[in-house]
Amino acid sequence: MKRTVITYGTFDLLHTGHVRLLERARSLGDRLIVGLSTDEFNAIKGKISVQTYADRKAVLEAIQFVDLVIPETAWNQKEKDIIQYGVDLFVMGDDWKGKFDFLKDSCEVLYLPRTAGISTSDLKKRIDKQL
């Protein structure tokens, strides 16, 4: 039986931490779906991406570990996506630990450790300092 894994995020300024998270998530199943935050949803969250949704999506689709990229448009869509795509495992970085435990009624939930020493926020700060 095939195992489907899903994760969500903005994936702006794609870096090794993102790639490692996606690689680990994909290694836990046969198919990896990425729910990519739209520009409109990021605005609701108070986030501004450097790259547009279309550009971030194109980059994710080029990664060998990613099988499908879907738009994330609202916090409450996760349960619907899990059912629609037959998801077995929901994966997020451990900085979200406990925040999505309510999904355990629908699928397995796993929080993976983040890659130490790199984050999009840190990259943006470093870029700002250099400008």
| Active-site annotation holds for 45 | yes
Mapped onto helix, strand or coil, the DSSP state of residue 68 is strand
Q: Across the strands, what pairs with 108?
A: 89
| Active-site annotation holds for 125 | no
54, burial (CB in 10 Å: exposed 0-12, middle 13-18, buried 19+): exposed
CA atoms within 13 A on the CB side of 51: 16
> Which one of the listed residues 45, 80, 97, 99 is annotated catalytic?
45
Mapped onto helix, strand or coil, the DSSP state of residue 117 is coil
What is the number of other CB atoms lying within 10 angstroms of the CB of residue 15? 15
Which of 37, 39, 18, 23 shows the shortest CA–CA distance to 78? 37
> Which one of the listed residues 2, 47, 97, 129 is annotated catalytic?
47
Instruction: Tell me the catalytic residues.
Output: 45, 47
